[in-house]
Amino acid sequence: MDHHHHHPNATASPSSSYSSTTTATTANLNSATTITSTATNLNGVASNDPMHAWWESISKARTRIHSLASILRSVALSSLADSDHPARALLLSPEVYSAVSEALSSPDSGSGSDPLCQWLYETFQFSDPDLRLIVYAYVPLICGVYMSRVVSAPTSDPSASAPSLVGFEAVLLAIYGLEVKARAGKPVVVSIPDLSQPSLYHTPREKAGSGAGSSRPVVGVVCGPLEAQNAVKSTKRAAIAGAALDCYFKQIAHMPSWSKVEFCEYVAAWAGQHCKCETELDEQEEEVIDGFSEIRISVEGRDDEEDEDDVVVERNGKVGLGKNGDSSFASKGKRIPLPWELLQPVLRILGHCLLGPLNPQDVKDSASVAVRRLYARASHDLVPQGILATRSLIQLDNRMRKTANEAGTATSVSNVNTPSKAKKPEVLLVSK
């Protein structure tokens, strides 16, 4: 029976979990900026001086980087702290992301005493947008590890207690609380145009003497209002994780590609095991898309006793899902419940990863696998919204790959048929 997800200190707010650490960090930060603030005031410069705000932002970022360096001792962060934009340099560092990913994925991570979770929580408390982008970049990783561990099978030893996940919950609640404040108790709505009008931009005329002829715009509720939460309850876990992923989606244009690939890997694991029906839409295509042939894997002819992970490894190696090409999706997470409040932001992010024109090919390939896994999952669970959304994304993906394949073929044929012009002889001007 699933009740509240209790751990030691789980019912306490995130501020109480990390109050002492946050107080110490704030004190150090205030002492580090006292000289600058005093000098600014003595020189008669206004406190809202842009130069002062810029220097304060740089000082905060360097303080957080030095604090992270004491946790990640295997990575040299001095060069990042000395850069002109330290927060952005930290965000775009693949070495730092790899080290943080390895630390957060370790079996003993996520507890209330986890120093990395404390660092992420404290960093998010600063109002600096660049520092918050760093925390947003790790939201897929935190959600992936946290949601997978929640549904993991209990240990064989009944006397052993479940691992504490208070550290993950504190970070997710901090992001969720900011989103609750931003929405101010209002739902997220979208205006649906009246399709009975001749044009989407047509304004009907009102009848003479009455306003009965005017049509009211139809409003659809995308997300309901959020309720403030002081702890992660089992009934609100999906909503909290979904709100955190929604915040990630709002900043996805600033997110590095490896963060998007990590998200797609976890989504593929959340959807469950490999199934034949995930490629049924591709098999209905009359033409084979060369750009997608390496992602489409037929499971026909395989023995039933064959390990499912072998299929996953083959797909993983071909599309680049995984750091070394030999890790399976199962190592990235577990199959989890996917209610609409969690599936909706997941589909938004996958849509960007799949169709974003500036995304590298590995992001698009990772999203291709994940969205087909979700289509198979939605088909088995009979989720109409999930089936329609994933089906549309798969069809758009096939069309884009087909268009790109045709454009590449046309370009190659044009280059072959275009005769090369003879070079004109060089004329050398010699001064007499």
| Residues 247-296: tens digit of each pLDDT | 999 999 999 999 999 999 999 999 987 777 788 887 666 444 444 444 54
Q: Which domain holds residue 374?
A: 256-283+334-405
Place of tokens 């992970």: 309
Whether 211 maps to a domain, the answer reads no
124 in the same domain as 74: yes
279 in the same domain as 236: no
pLDDT confidence of residue 275: 79
Secondary structure (3-state) at 188? strand
Write down the H helix ranges in 70-212: 78-81, 86-91, 94-104, 115-125, 129-137, 139-150, 166-183
Whether 34 maps to a domain, the answer reads no
| Residues 206-262: tens digit of each pLDDT | 554 444 445 566 788 888 889 999 899 999 999 999 999 999 999 999 999 999 999
pLDDT confidence of residue 166: 94
**DSSP-assigned beta bridge partners for residue 189:** 221
pLDDT confidence of residue 282: 79
Whether 18 maps to a domain, the answer reads no
260 in the same domain as 234: no
Structure tokens at 164: 């504490």
Average pLDDT, consecutive stretches of 10 residues, N- to C-terminus, the chain (432 residues): 45 46 40 38 53 87 94 89 93 95 92 94 93 96 95 60 86 96 88 74 57 62 87 93 96 96 95 81 59 42 40 37 39 87 96 94 95 94 93 93 83 63 57 50
Length of the chain: 432
Q: Using an 8 Å Cβ cutoff, are 33 and 56 in contact?
A: yes
Whether 353 maps to a domain, the answer reads yes
Determine the residue type at 160: A
351 in the same domain as 396: yes
Q: How far apart are CA 144 and CA 142, in angstroms?
A: 5
245 in the same domain as 268: no
In total, how many domains does the chain have?
2
Residue 91: Cβ-neighbour burial (10 angstroms; 0-12, 13-18, 19+)? buried
Determine the residue type at 48: N
Whether 413 maps to a domain, the answer reads no
Contacts of 254 (CB under 8 A, 6+ apart): 91, 133, 136
Whether 311 maps to a domain, the answer reads no
Structure tokens at 285: 């295509």
268 in the same domain as 358: yes
92 in the same domain as 187: yes
Q: How far apart are CA 33 and CA 48, in angstroms?
A: 15
pLDDT confidence of residue 70: 93
Determine the residue type at 127: S
371 in the same domain as 242: no
